[in-house]
Amino acid sequence: MPEDPKPPAARSTNTGTPEKPVAGANPVSATPPAAGAPPAPAKAAAAAPAKPAAPAKPAGPVPTLWEAALVDRLKRRFGSGIEAWTYLGQHYLQADGAVVAELLQILRDEEKFDYCVDVTALHYPKRERPFDLVWILYSFPNNQRVRVKAQFADGAGAPSVVKLWPTTNWLEREVFDMFGIRFEGHPDLKRILLPDGWKGHPLRKDYGILQQDSEWVQINLGIESGQ
Amino acid sequence: MNDPNSAVSPLDLDAKESTFLDANELILNMGPQHPATHGVLRVILKLDGEKVLGLECIIGYLHRGVEKIAENRTYAMFNPYVDRMDYVAAVSNGLGYCEAVEKLLNVEAPPRANYIRVILAELNRIASHQLWLGTHALDIGAMTPLFYTFRDREEILKIFEKYCGARLTTHAFRIGGCLYETYDGFEQDVRNFLDFVGPKINEYEELLTTNRIWVRRTRDVGVISGKDCIALGVTGPVLRASGVKWDLRKAQPYAAYKKFDFEIPTGTNGDTYDRYLVRMAEMRQSIRIIRQAVDGLPSGPIMAKVSKVIKPPVGEIYHSIEAPKGELGYFIASDGSTQPYRVRVRPPSFVNLQALDLMCKDQLVADVIAVIGTLDIVLGEVDR
């Protein structure tokens, strides 16, 4: 997430209904600055892939602190283990990898986030802990969404939440398949979309777009290459 | 659910169940090439005679690495790819993706574009449900509805073709609004279609709703409770048929849905028959929405001010819509460049398919076909 401070955009956050289109935002002025002032409209705009340095980032939205009763309760319990942010009207909790399991448990049991929408990951290879795990949660009683994020090192096991939300069974398997993150406590962690014997985890950034497990392809498909 | 893990138990093929006669136990492979799996789905069934003890889905045969492709394309270039996931509801896929990127850009599509989006998305919902009904009925043994539904679905595809030149993978929307203005006679075409399809839906119902064979094959088959649906993340008509009144168009309205008056049909038993009724009712609600949208179609621009080169600021967004099959979500992370850092698609079919094990347990083999049909999965979306 962006941590570099940018000119504040002073966005109002509506805590109750995070996913609703932000009504206050002026759509026109908030358009991103990429093509700040392209000269002659038609031709130039089509030809110039925004090389004319567009460093002037006027009113880019920035994450703001999320303040809510829910956050206060969590802060009381976890202290500095979590940070709560709002970006474009959506709330997320940045949690420490050590407390995230407990945090998710509390969110389900006490804060009524009874539906785990999705589990996914992001790979930042240059970081010390290169993986961001993201849990997207939804609460039916409160019609509220929240995302939980935590960083994990390569090879470090992440906590499995299949016991809390059975839906995460396949979702965690997919994250394991695509990123190679191991979920500790998962009942049956194995590949789901790729074949069992496949080598490599395609959604890692160091896995090329044309890369494949050629050994597997040759043995199992009897062809030189799948492309 | 007593033990949440039991819902999606891994199928241990080696472990012997201590049933009365072990010899009755049979491992049966179904698919991946099987007409009733709606694509390339492989199901390994563990049977005790006719009874299903458990099953395991093997998926991934259609995996194309859509999420990886997204990281190597610009935002606009990735737009047509999403149509190829749930290819029977391509408009919904495009709508979800465009809205997610718009959110990331902090832009809103103009009202007219939103109305056009609603009209096409709801037409697509009808088309998707018609295709579901035809194939589902065919699986169960009723051949006639297939011809009826395909005949009528054709009219929707004709409207799509006239609007954007494509019938299935439409690529109808662009980031920021719509590329195409409605063609001359669009509104009349849509109205004519609505007048045409309303009685046709009654016709389907006449064939099936009170048909004794249909009722016997669907009632109390593949029952799932609302609580289990939520635990398993099942959304869409399956969730609503189990009595949970939840629809993203109402819960967290997007596009222009806030402006329209419609109801969320729900069922009570959570069986295959209720899911059938819910989808039939949904088609009627879609007609209602489209009628309001065509009547109130505002004039004005159809494209918001979006630069040719889309470069969202650094940040992450999750946006989801109510696709015909359930909650379709896009999680997009931007690193400030022209290509997304990560696009994650939350496919409804993939998550819903996970419930197959629970829904088929202790049912008959023949019902597995009915349950696969009633889940309304598209393997292009399951595997991505």
pLDDT at position A20, please? 41
Q: How confident is the model at residue B19 (pLDDT cuts 50, 70, 90)?
A: low
DSSP letters along A173-205, please?
A: HHHHHHH-PPEET-TT---SSS-TT--S-TTST
* C-alpha–C-alpha distance, residues B344 and A122, integer Å: 9
DSSP letters along B162-217, please?
A: HHHS-SSS---EETTEESSPPPTTHHHHHHHHHHHHHHHHHHHHHHHTT-HHHHHH
Please name the member of A32, A171, A192 whose beta carbon is closest to the beta carbon of B313: A32
- Decide if B57 contacts B42 (C-beta within 8 A): yes
pLDDT at position A13, please? 41
Q: How confident is the model at residue B124 (pLDDT cuts 50, 70, 90)?
A: very high
Higher pLDDT, B186 or A81: B186
Q: Is A187 in Cβ contact with B5 (below 8 Å)?
A: yes
> Which positions ≥6 away from B349 have C-beta within 8 Å?
B86, B325, B326, B375, B376, B377, B378, B379, B381, B382
DSSP state of B303: B
pLDDT at position B238, please? 92
Q: How confident is the model at residue A5 (pLDDT cuts 50, 70, 90)?
A: very low
Residue A14 has a CB neighbour count (10 Å cut-off) of 13
pLDDT tens column, A94-143: 888 888 888 898 888 888 898 999 999 999 988 888 999 999 999 998 88
Alpha carbon dihedral B182, B184, B189, B190, in 10-degree steps, equals 30
pLDDT at position B333, please? 92
* C-alpha–C-alpha distance, residues B168 and B156, integer Å: 10
DSSP letters along B45-83, please?
A: EEEETTEEEEEEEE--TT---HHHHHHTS-HHHHHHHHT
- Decide if B69 contacts B81 (C-beta within 8 A): yes
pLDDT at position B128, please? 92
Q: Provide mean pLDDT across the span B335-359.
A: 90
> Which positions ≥6 away from B118 have C-beta within 8 Å?
B255, B256, B257, B260, B289, B290, B293
Phi, psi angles (nearest 5°) of residue B358? -65, -40
- In angstroms, the Cα distances linking A133 to A96, B34, B236 are 11, 36, 26
pTM, rounded to two decimals? 0.81
Helix axes A100-109, A69-78, angle to 10 degrees: 140
> Among A13-22, A195-204, B138-147, B326-335, which stretch is predicted with the lowest mean pLDDT?
A13-22
- Decide if B358 contacts B7 (C-beta within 8 A): yes
pLDDT at position A32, please? 41
Q: Report chain B residues whose CB lies below 8 A from the CB of A134.
A: 316, 331, 344
Instruction: Give the number of C-alpha atoms closer than 13 A to the C-alpha of residue B73, restricted to the C-beta side.
Output: 15
* C-alpha–C-alpha distance, residues B222 and B293, integer Å: 36
Residue B221, burial from CB neighbour count under 10 angstroms (0-12, 13-18, 19+):
buried
Structure tokens at B36: 């009733």
* C-alpha–C-alpha distance, residues A96 and A79, integer Å: 11
Amino acid at A107: L
pLDDT tens column, A167-182: 999 999 999 999 989 9
Q: Is B233 in Cβ contact with A115 (below 8 Å)?
A: yes
pLDDT tens column, B321-342: 999 999 999 999 998 889 999 9
Structure tokens at B146: 């297939």
pLDDT at position A44, please? 41
Q: What is the distance in angstroms between the Cα of A46 and the nearest Cα belonging to chain B?
A: 7
DSSP letters along A105-119, please?
A: HHHHHTS---EEEEE
Q: Give yes or no for residue A64 having a pLDDT over 60.
A: yes
* C-alpha–C-alpha distance, residues B107 and B15, integer Å: 56
Instruction: Give the number of C-alpha atoms closer than 13 A to the C-alpha of residue A38, restricted to the C-beta side.
Output: 19
B316, B319, B361, best to mutate vs chain A, most A CBs in 10 Å: B316
Write down how long chain B is.
384
Q: Report chain B residues whose CB lies below 8 A from the CB of A195.
A: 60
- Decide if B24 contacts B48 (C-beta within 8 A): yes
Structure tokens at B295: 């009547």
Q: Report chain A residues whose CB lies below 8 A from the CB of B320.
A: 19, 117
Instruction: Give the number of C-alpha atoms closer than 13 A to the C-alpha of residue B172, restricted to the C-beta side.
Output: 33
- In angstroms, the Cα distances linking A184 to A159, A181, A187, B221 are 5, 10, 9, 35
Q: What is the distance in angstroms between the Cα of B114 and the nearest Cα belonging to chain A?
A: 13
Please name the member of A25, A46, A143 whose beta carbon is closest to the beta carbon of B106: A25
* C-alpha–C-alpha distance, residues B104 and B170, integer Å: 23
Structure tokens at B55: 């099953």
Q: Is B354 in Cβ contact with A31 (below 8 Å)?
A: no
State yes or no: cis peptide before A38, omega within 30 of 0.
no
- In angstroms, the Cα distances linking A200 to A171, A192, A207, B117 are 18, 14, 8, 40
Q: How confident is the model at residue A55 (pLDDT cuts 50, 70, 90)?
A: very low
Instruction: Give the number of C-alpha atoms closer than 13 A to the C-alpha of residue B259, restricted to the C-beta side.
Output: 17
